[in-house]
Structure 1
Amino acid sequence: MRIRILWPAGQTTATLRATPTAEQLWSALPIRSSANTWGDEVYFDTLLAVDREEDAQQVVAPGTVAFWTEGDSLALPFGPTPISRGSECRLASPCNILGTLDGDPQVLRTVRGGDPISVERA
């Protein structure tokens, strides 16, 4: 499953793993939302409500596509957040891991809070 994430200043694609949350996201596409930023993380509401999976993680690699179950949001970290230790990507709480961005996650630096953002099948 490949998705495209678009915002006014750019776009990126991601490859999703076969997980229950990724499949729910895939079925719900396309999604339109408004971007939020938290340190070097972009996140946005998906209107999906899913349970935390057993392999949920809080510290992830840059470019991880994660689902924040407490906020019903897709979380796209590309660097440190306000609660990171050093240069790690630490999410607000353990998140379901859906996949990884294709290419350089630093492209997310061009997302601004409030930007319209959409996710569609690639």
Structure 2
Amino acid sequence: MQIRISWPSGHLTASLGDTPTASALAAALPLSATAHTWGEEVYFDTGVSVGLEPDARQVVEPGTVAFWTEGDALALPYGPTPISRGGESRLASPCNLLGSLDGDPRLLATVRDGDPIRVERA
């Protein structure tokens, strides 16, 4: 499944795998939220509540589409966060892996804290 993530200064598409969390997110689309930034990560509430999946990880590649179960939020890292070691993308805690962004994840650097963000099927 493909989704489109839009904010005032840009948009990206993402390809999601066939996971329980991706299915739960798909059922909630389209959704609108307020973006938050944390280092080089954008995250926002989805209104979806799911449990941690067995392959959840805390350190991921930039451009990973992750789901932070503790905050019911999509987490989109594009570089280091305040708790990263070196240049890694370290999320606040282990997150479910949904898929990856298509294109350059550094476009997320144009998202400002408080920006409206929309997620819909692509």
The TM-score, its normalising length taken from structure 1, stands at 1.00
Match of 2:50 in 1: 50
Match of 2:113 in 1: 113
Q: How many residues were matched structurally?
A: 122
Deviation of 1:19 (Å):
0.2
- Would you say 1:103 and 2:79 are equivalent positions? no
The TM-score, its normalising length taken from structure 2, stands at 1.00
**How big is each residue's C-alpha offset from its partner over 1:27-63, in whole Å with a ceiling of 9 and x where there is no partner?**
1100100000000000000011100000000000000
- Map of 1:31-110 to 2, 5 A cutoff? 31-110=31-110
Percent identical: 70
| Aligned partner of residue 13 in structure 1, secondary structure | strand
CA distance, structure 2, for counterparts of residue 34 and residue 70 of structure 1: 17
Match of 1:4 in 2: 4
**How big is each residue's C-alpha offset from its partner over 1:71-101, in whole Å with a ceiling of 9 and x where there is no partner?**
0000000000000000000000000000000
| Aligned partner of residue 62 in structure 1, secondary structure | coil
Deviation of 1:5 (Å):
0.1
Listed as ranges, the gaps of 5+ residues in structure 1 are none
